[in-house]
């Protein structure tokens, strides 16, 4: 079973210093089994070191009639001891899908009186009228695109599978540069759709591609955002290969070193 993103510690334990607890300007809603479980225009955003951002809803903005307390608990040096709740709507139940901190330490964020939810245990999330994906966005994270005339070439085995002089470069804080390539510059005859679908809080939902090179199959080697989030509209329909997995990627004839990330194999 995959861990919940909110539970993943992406680095060593850190002290309470450095967290942000701030009012989000967004109208946020969370849905489960056709019902709105939480709906708030005064949702709080917690950004703590080495964790993904999390929305916290005031108790008054949560449908308490859908919430069932459980005997599950967890502990955080920043926030104290958490109590958990399952969500029951009709015949469906999301076990331990929500948590609260009834007695947080004074040195941490003022989370008492708020509920947070595991994103992937609910069916859909919305910020204003647009569907949101994966987790709450970090307002201090930059993601940006730029049209470029760099000569970018992607090689699998000894086969060039993409060759373009009009890539769209995507820059995202803390991640390697991504090269989005127009389909007309990709050997689409060598690609086939895979069953992998991933979500990004900043870009939306992506479908993936396998590549067939001779007798070798490069599984989930590339992806496409068919209908990306509004701000990422320029990447729609383009193909991006994992820098971490291709045999060679050239940027203006210079071999790009293979980065080490969570997507490395």
Kindly give the confidence (pLDDT) of every residue in the chain, 265 residues in length, as a single tens digit, with 9 standing for 90 and above: 556 766 655 454 444 448 999 999 999 999 999 999 999 999 999 999 889 999 999 999 999 999 999 999 999 999 999 999 999 999 999 999 999 999 999 999 999 999 999 999 999 999 999 999 999 999 999 999 999 999 999 999 999 999 999 999 999 998 999 999 999 999 999 999 999 999 999 999 999 999 999 999 999 999 999 999 999 999 999 999 999 999 999 999 999 999 988 888 7
The CA distance from 117 to 127, in Å, is: 15
Kindly list the domain boundaries of the chain, sorted by start residue. 5-132, 143-255
CATH superfamily of 143-255: Domain of unknown function (DUF427) (2.170.150.40)
Specify the pTM: 0.86
The CATH T-level fold of domain 5-132 is: 2.170.150
Q: Could you check whether 5-132 and 143-255 share the same CATH topology?
A: yes
What is the residue-wise DSSP string for 166-214? Answer: S-EEEEETTS--EEEE-GGGB-GGGEEEEEEEEEETTTEEEEEEEEEET
Closest CA to 63 of 39, 44, 79, 85: 39
The CA distance from 69 to 74, in Å, is: 14
The CA distance from 222 to 195, in Å, is: 12
Q: Is 218:208 a contact under the CB 8 Å cutoff?
A: no
pLDDT of residue 263: 87
pLDDT of residue 68: 98
The CA distance from 161 to 241, in Å, is: 10
């Amino acid at each position: 079973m995959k861990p919940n993103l909110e539970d993943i510690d992406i680095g060593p334990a850190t002290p309470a210093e450095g967290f942000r607890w701030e009012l989000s300007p967004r109208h946020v809603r969370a849905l489960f089994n056709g019902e709105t479980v939480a709906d708030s225009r005064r949702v709080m955003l917690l950004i703590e070191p080495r964790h993904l951002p999390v929305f916290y809803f005031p108790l008054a903005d949560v449908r308490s009639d859908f919430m069932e307390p459980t005997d599950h608990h967890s502990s955080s040096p920043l926030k104290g001891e958490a109590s958990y709740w399952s969500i029951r709507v009709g015949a469906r139940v999301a076990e331990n899908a929500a948590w609260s901190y009834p007695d947080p330490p004074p040195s941490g964020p003022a989370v008492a009186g708020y509920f947070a939810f595991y994103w992937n245990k609910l069916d859909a999330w919305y910020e204003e009228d647009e569907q949101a994906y994966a987790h709450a966005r970090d307002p201090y994270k930059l993601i940006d695109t730029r049209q470029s005339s760099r000569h970018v070439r992607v090689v699998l085995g000894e086969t060039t599978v993409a060759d373009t002089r009009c890539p769209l470069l995507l820059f995202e804080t803390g991640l390697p540069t991504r090269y989005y390539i127009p389909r007309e510059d990709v050997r689409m005859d060598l690609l086939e759709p895979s069953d992998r679908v991933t979500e990004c809080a900043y870009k939306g939902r992506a479908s993936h591609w396998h590549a067939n090179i001779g007798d070798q199959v490069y599984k989930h080697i590339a992806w496409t955002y068919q209908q990306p989030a509004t701000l990422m509209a320029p990447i729609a329909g383009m193909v991006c290969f994992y820098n971490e997995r291709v045999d060679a990627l050239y940027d203006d004839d210079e071999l790009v070193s293979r980065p080490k990330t969570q997507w490395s194999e």
